[in-house]
Amino acid sequence: MKLEVTRDVVTDLWPLYEAKEASADSRALVETYLAGDEAFKSLLGGSGGLKRAVPELKLSPDAERRLLDDARARAQAKLKLIGGSIVLAWFLAAAAMAVLLFKVVKG
């Protein structure tokens, strides 16, 4: 089964190709396709090519610091929640074991 390479496939691979993060095989596929489609090659290569899916954000150092602090606080809250859940599960398991032990001893 031979797969057909289309403009959509090349368009999907283009951001990786442009960032030099595509594998050697993907790079070769893109280059081979573009060698046969000069109009599409000039579309991709000209005036900025395809726009990035996520535009670059220019943040001030203070805004970056606030975002990092917020992310850190959220991560710490999640860790506390997970830790509390583990402790609660341990206490519930200990209580269940105590009840079972009490029933066995009592008879």
pLDDT at 20: 85
pLDDT > 70? residue 87:
yes
Residue 69 has pLDDT above 90, yes or no: yes
Give, for 6, the enclosing helix (H) or strand (E): none
Are residues 72 and 39 part of one domain?
A: no
Report the mean per-residue pLDDT for the chain. 86
Q: Quote the domain boundaries for residue 10.
A: 1-56
Number of domains in the chain: 2
Predicted local confidence at residue 47, as pLDDT: 43
Residues 45 and 73 in one domain: no
Per-residue confidence (pLDDT) for residue 67, from 0 to 100: 94
Distance CA 97, CA 92 (A): 9
| Token pair listed for 83 | 């830790």
